[in-house]
Amino acid sequence: MTKQRLGVCYYPEHWPEDLWAEDARRMRAIGLSLVRIGEFAWSRLEPEEGRYDFDWLARAIDVLHDAGLSVVLGTPTATPPKWLVDKTPSMLPLDAQGRSRGFGSRRHYCFSHERYARECERIVTALAQAFGAHAGVVAWQIDNEYGCHDTVESYSPAALIAFRRWCERKYGDIAALNRAWGNVFWSMELSSFDQIELPHLTVTEANPASLLDFQRFSSDQVAAFHRRQVEIICRHSPGRDILHNFMGGFTAFDHFALGRDLDVAAWDSYPLGFLERSHRDEAFKRRYMRVGDPDFQSFHHDLYRACGSGRLWIMEQQPGAVNWAPWNPLPAKGAVRMWTFEAFAAGAEVVSYFRWRQAPFAQEQMHEGLLLPNSEPNEALFVAQAVARELEEIDAKVETEDADVALVFDYESAFAWRIEPQGQDFSYSDLILDFYSALRRLGLNVDVVPPTPEALARRKLIVAPALFASSAALAEALAESGAVVLLGPRSGSKTEDFQIPSRLPPGDFRALVDVAVPRVESLRPDAQIGVDAQEGAAFVRWREIVALGERAEVLLQCVDGAPALVRRDRFLYLSGIPNDVLRAAIFRRLAVDAGLNVLDLPGHIRLRDNGPMRYVFNYGESDFDLSAILGEAPLLLGERRLPPCGVALFRRPR
CA dist 364 and 361 (Å) reads 7
Q: Which of 276, 316, 342, 412 is catalytic?
A: 316
Residue 73 is a binding residue for ligand GAL (CB under 6 A): no
Residue 367 is a binding residue for ligand GAL (CB under 6 A): yes
DSSP secondary structure code for residue 173 in this structure: S
The CB-of-16 to ligand GAL minimum distance in angstroms stands at 21
Among 143, 145, 410, 447, interactor with ligand GAL by CB under 6 A: 145
The CB-of-106 to ligand GAL minimum distance in angstroms stands at 8
Residue type, position 549, single letter: G
Residue 316 vs 544, nearer CB to ligand GAL: 316
Residue 76 vs 505, nearer CB to ligand GAL: 76
Cα pseudo-dihedral 306, 311, 316, 321, rounded to 10 = 60
CA dist 276 and 271 (Å) reads 9
472 with 507: CB under 8 angstroms?
A: no
The CB-of-148 to ligand GAL minimum distance in angstroms stands at 6
Q: Pairing relation of β-strands 70-74 and 34-37?
A: parallel
* CA atoms 316, 318, 321, 322: torsion sign: positive
Residue 519, classed as helix, strand or coil, is strand
The DSSP annotation for 45-89 comes to: H-SBTTB---HHHHHHHHHHHHTT-EEEEEP-TTS--HHHHHH-G
The CB-of-314 to ligand GAL minimum distance in angstroms stands at 12
Number of residues that bind ligand GAL (CB under 6 A): 11
CA dist 599 and 187 (Å) reads 57
Residue 274 vs 435, nearer CB to ligand GAL: 274
Which stretches within 498-639 are classed as H helix?
A: 510-513, 580-593, 627-630
Say whether 316 is catalytic: yes
The CB-of-321 to ligand GAL minimum distance in angstroms stands at 10
The CB-of-228 to ligand GAL minimum distance in angstroms stands at 21
The CB-of-313 to ligand GAL minimum distance in angstroms stands at 13
Residue 34 vs 148, nearer CB to ligand GAL: 148
Residue 565, classed as helix, strand or coil, is strand
Query: One symbol per residue from 227 to 266: x for binding ligand GAL (CB under 6 A), - otherwise; what is it?
Result: ----------------------------------------
206 with 199: CB under 8 angstroms?
A: yes
Residue 270 vs 468, nearer CB to ligand GAL: 270
Say whether 145 is catalytic: yes
Residue 348 vs 585, nearer CB to ligand GAL: 348
What are the helix and strand counts (H, E) for the chain? Answer: 21, 25
Q: Which of 39, 119, 145, 349 is catalytic?
A: 145
Binding window for ligand GAL (CB under 6 A); candidates: 142-150, 325-333, 415-423, 505-513 = 142-150
Binding window for ligand GAL (CB under 6 A); candidates: 66-74, 141-149, 236-244, 567-575 = 141-149
Residue 320 vs 620, nearer CB to ligand GAL: 320
CA dist 464 and 447 (Å) reads 12
Among 144, 269, 278, 528, interactor with ligand GAL by CB under 6 A: 144
CA dist 451 and 487 (Å) reads 12
The CB-of-364 to ligand GAL minimum distance in angstroms stands at 6
Query: One symbol per residue from 267 to 286: x for binding ligand GAL (CB under 6 A), - otherwise; what is it?
Result: -x-x----------------
Q: Considering only residues 494 through 513, tell me which ones interact with ligand GAL, judged by CB under 6 A.
A: none
Nearest residue to 514 via CA among 570, 574, 575, 568:
568
Length of the chain (residues): 654
Residue 113 is a binding residue for ligand GAL (CB under 6 A): no
* CA atoms 428, 433, 434, 438: torsion sign: positive
Residue type, position 561, single letter: G
The CB-of-14 to ligand GAL minimum distance in angstroms stands at 12
Q: For the chain, how are helix, strand and coil distributed in percent, rounded to 5?
A: 35, 20, 45
350 with 308: CB under 8 angstroms?
A: no
How far apart, in Å, are the Cα atoms of 348 and each of 2, 95, 343, 345, 612? 10, 36, 5, 7, 16
Does 525 sit behind a cis peptide bond, omega within 30 degrees of 0 on the bond before it? no
The CB-of-384 to ligand GAL minimum distance in angstroms stands at 17
483 with 489: CB under 8 angstroms?
A: no
Residue 141 vs 237, nearer CB to ligand GAL: 141
Query: One symbol per residue from 307 to 326: x for binding ligand GAL (CB under 6 A), - otherwise; what is it?
Result: ---------x-----x-x--
110 with 149: CB under 8 angstroms?
A: no
Binding window for ligand GAL (CB under 6 A); candidates: 47-55, 143-151, 175-183, 226-234 = 143-151
Residue 319 vs 506, nearer CB to ligand GAL: 319
Q: Considering only residues 322 through 351, tell me which ones interact with ligand GAL, judged by CB under 6 A.
A: 322, 324
Binding window for ligand GAL (CB under 6 A); candidates: 18-26, 144-152, 369-377, 530-538 = 144-152
Binding window for ligand GAL (CB under 6 A); candidates: 93-101, 140-148, 166-174, 580-588 = 140-148
Residue 331 vs 644, nearer CB to ligand GAL: 331
Residue 354 is a binding residue for ligand GAL (CB under 6 A): yes
Q: Please give the residue ranges that form the binding site for ligand GAL (CB under 6 A).
A: 144-145, 148, 268, 270, 316, 322, 324, 354, 364, 367
Residue numbers annotated as active site: 145, 316
